[in-house]
Amino acid sequence: MNWTIISTEEEYEAALERLEIIFDSKPVDSTFKEAELLTMLIENYELETELAFPDPDPIEVIKFKMEQNNMISKDFAKIVGGKSKASEILNKKRRLTLKMIRQINKLLGIPAVVLIGEYELVK
Please list, residue by residue across 46-63, b when 16 or more beta carbons sit within 10 angstroms of its beta carbon and e when fewer do: eeeeeeeeeeebbbebbe
Q: With a cut of 90, say whether residue 94 has pLDDT above it.
A: yes
Number of structural domains in the chain = 2
Q: What does pLDDT average to over the chain? A: 90
Assign 47 a pLDDT band (cuts: 50, 70, 90).
Answer: confident
One domain for residues 67 and 99 = yes
**Are both 62 and 110 inside the same structural domain?**
yes
122 within a domain of the structure (yes/no): no
| Within a domain: 35 | yes
Confidence check: pLDDT of 52 > 70: no
* pTM as predicted: 0.59
Longest Cα separation, the chain: 61
**First vs last Cα of the chain: how many Å apart?**
55
- The pLDDT-based confidence of 1 (bands split at 50, 70, 90) is low
The residue segments making up the domain with residue 15 are 9-48
Q: Is 87 inside a domain boundary?
A: yes
- 22 & 66 share domain: no
Cα–Cα distance measured from residue 71 to residue 76, given in angstroms and rounded to the nearest whole number: 7
Cβ-contact 44, 74 below 8 angstroms: no
